[in-house]
A = this chain, B = another copy of it.
Amino acid sequence: MQTDTHDTERTLRDALSATGQRYTEQRAAVFRYLRSTESHPTADEVFFHVRQEIPGISLATVYKSLETLVGARLATKLTYGDGSARYDGRTDDHHHLRCLGCERVIDLPGQVDDREVARLEASADGFQVTGCRLELTGYCADCSPSPASRV
């Protein structure tokens, strides 16, 4: 646990200093919160939680910190979906489920098979593929309209 905290701080310090940026309490708190949750929070939600630790932090700083983390590849910005952007503290290749009922975004374990990507890529003439994002939409266990119905 203690080790976790140290690793997190070390990771952040290293990534920031590598690009001439500074380690600050605010950035650390935002980073720690992102790492601690699987809820893919919006900037506002991050602000709300981090404020309990650093009451004086401003929303603008939260936005700046989040962009800094994304720039340092320590977080991902999820811009699909309506409305406000969501941030994800995971940076490994993974996908998402989006509940059409409660709008929650849930991590989906597993990756798209490379052969499947290659097959699709074959239709993308002259396009050089570097990444793949997949989102399954539907209804989570709590929002399922009815166990058997299908829209």
Q: Using a CB–CB distance below 8 Å, which chain A residues touch chain B?
A: 77, 79-82, 85, 95, 97, 99-100, 106, 108-110, 112-113, 116-117, 119-121, 123-141, 144, 150-151
Contacts and interface: CB of A to CB of B under 8 A. Distances in A.
Contact of A120 (B108, B121, B128, B151): B108
A119 B134 CA distance: 13
B136 A135 contact: no
Contact of A129 (B124, B129, B138, B141): B138
A133 B134 CA distance: 6
Contact of A109 (B81, B123, B128): B123
A121 B139 CA distance: 12
